[in-house]
Structure 1
């Protein structure tokens, strides 16, 4: 095997390994005795089955959703005509999460959500406002859908809505649109796991309109 062919083969093998492992978490996460957090955001119904699988695989203690539970239904744009379908799909999603896990579940409604519908369909989940800070194992977690509505005094900030990833702050910011984020607390160790590659298609994103 020539050096060129060997290099191509090695690159292909490495890429294949990365592809196979794109949804995996390291063993250190699974074996950790720390509090395990799963953070998702802007979830179209096309990836619900993937979220359920990741939930079963990762076994988090806390699930945080930072808004737009049925992100293929753009309530802010479509208005009341989408409400019946949103009510049906969001109720199914909320119910399934509560059935599949005993984890604490926290929702921060987004601009394409209906607050009253979410509250009506939750049995044990919590619904909090943007800018809320929750304390998890001594770590202050700031929550918002819009990044500009995040609190300023949290140790870690979780959000969604757009693909912003850079902040002028020493605190940690994790965007639930870009990845499924996992945290170990109180060490603040974070891990990023890919969504299915079709997620943005499910969100109905256009090239120059990422909200």
Structure 2
């Protein structure tokens, strides 16, 4: 059941962070994906409040700019990418993994991000003791049994089963507790979908 505080935040289209998640300050891995630049101030607030040990971004870093169909907007993309890099890499030292999405430019990302691991397409990693398979597309996830599977890109969500866990960072953010493996979803404000273009993406 939603609390009155959560209802107010959702009504005002603001980022709501439950008190129970604030208790994870300094000890969580944050997964996000497909972020329009309008979300960056909320992301900055979230990171400043929770100080995650690591951040995994599964691609489409400036999601309102679709470089695959708008290549002439590269300079706008780079300009909007810079504040994201400052948010993810600034403050407390943390591991940051950035997956290149279908509307990203790898050269631009490597130019702007200086402390992050930039990954083209997909990879498997151990982050804070947690085994992760990461990809922008679900179809690109590496095969590594027992690992958490992080992706984004569109609304597709496979059935959970067979011991595999899938987390779509476009549908919600995720806080992963490396101490006990628990996963806490965190909703994006409603405006994020609206600013991703075409609201929720269907393979765009």
Larger-gyration structure (1/2): 1
Decide which of 43, 52, 63 is 2:55's aligned counterpart: 63
Confirm whether residue 109 of structure 1 aligns to residue 104 of structure 2.
no
Residues 207, 59 of structure 1: alpha-carbon distance in 2 compared, 3 angstrom cutoff: closer
Q: Is the 8 A contact 1:133 1:151 kept in 2?
A: yes
Q: CA deviation at 1:98?
A: 1.5
Partner SS, residue 191 of structure 1: strand
Q: Which runs of at least 4 in structure 1 moved beyond 6 Å after TM superposition?
A: none
TM-score normalised to the size of structure 2?
A: 0.86
TM-score normalised to the size of structure 1?
A: 0.83
What is the distance in 1 between the residues matched to 2:200 and 2:109? Answer: 30
Q: Is the 8 A contact 1:95 1:121 kept in 2?
A: no
Decide which of 43, 68, 73 is 1:51's aligned counterpart: 43
Confirm whether residue 42 of structure 1 aligns to residue 67 of structure 2.
no
Task: Give the gaps of 5 or more residues in structure 2.
Answer: 11-15
Q: State how many pairs are aligned.
A: 197
Decide which of 115, 130, 147 is 2:121's aligned counterpart: 130
Partner SS, residue 71 of structure 1: coil
Q: Is the 8 A contact 2:153 2:201 kept in 1?
A: no
Q: CA deviation at 1:16?
A: 3.0
Decide which of 5, 10, 16 is 2:4's aligned counterpart: 16
Q: Is the 8 A contact 2:193 2:200 kept in 1?
A: no
What is the distance in 1 between the residues matched to 2:200 and 2:108? Answer: 31
